[in-house]
Amino acid sequence: MKAQKIEPPLDMLEIIFAHQAKYDERVQKMEPFCNFDKRERVHRLIQFAIGELNEADSKVGYVNGVKKHWQTKVKKDFLEEMIDVLHFYVSAMLNAGFNAEDIYNAYMKKNVVNHDRQDDGY
């Protein structure tokens, strides 16, 4: 599949990254984050994101073997947990030295690969 030329609507993504950078600047001055090097911060942020993904899964998963209904509250709770995931994801990307444009470009490239894989029966 050929990559489609789509102009990046980076404004919203850039706004998220800018807000997260400002928040990170504040948090990284505090204990224990001020004592971590970049690699340790990224590792911890990934672990936090995994924890939030588990929480998101519990919102849409099963309770005592019974599938939850996709009700407004479940949907709202799921969104809240996924925003926490996004929070930690963006923070990890910033700490690793990436910006919104890097994420957009990598996503678009990988999206083509994923489509090609589906076309090939992956």
Decide which of 66 and 75 is more confident: 75
Domain count within the chain: 1
Instruction: Give the separation between CA 82 and CA 54, rounded to whole angstroms.
Output: 10
Which structural domain range is residue 17 located in? 11-113
How do residues 22-62 score in pLDDT, each as one tens digit? 999 998 888 888 889 999 999 999 999 999 999 998 888 76
The answer to the question of residue 6 being in a domain is no
The answer to the question of residue 5 being in a domain is no
What is the pLDDT at residue 82? Answer: 95
The answer to the question of residue 69 being in a domain is yes
Q: Is 92 exposed, middle or buried (0-12, 13-18, 19+ CB in 10 A)?
A: buried
**For residue 30, what is the domain's CATH number?**
1.10.287
The answer to the question of residue 122 being in a domain is no
What is the pLDDT at residue 63? Answer: 57
Residues with Cβ within 8 Å of 115's Cβ and at least 6 positions away in sequence, in order, are 1
Q: Which two tokens stand for residue 99?
A: 């910006």
The answer to the question of residue 44 being in a domain is yes
Instruction: Give the separation between CA 105 and CA 19, rounded to whole angstroms.
Output: 20
Decide which of 36 and 8 is more confident: 36
The answer to the question of residue 121 being in a domain is no
How do residues 76-98 score in pLDDT, each as one tens digit? 888 999 999 999 999 999 999 99
Return the H-helix or E-strand segment holding 83. helix 72-95
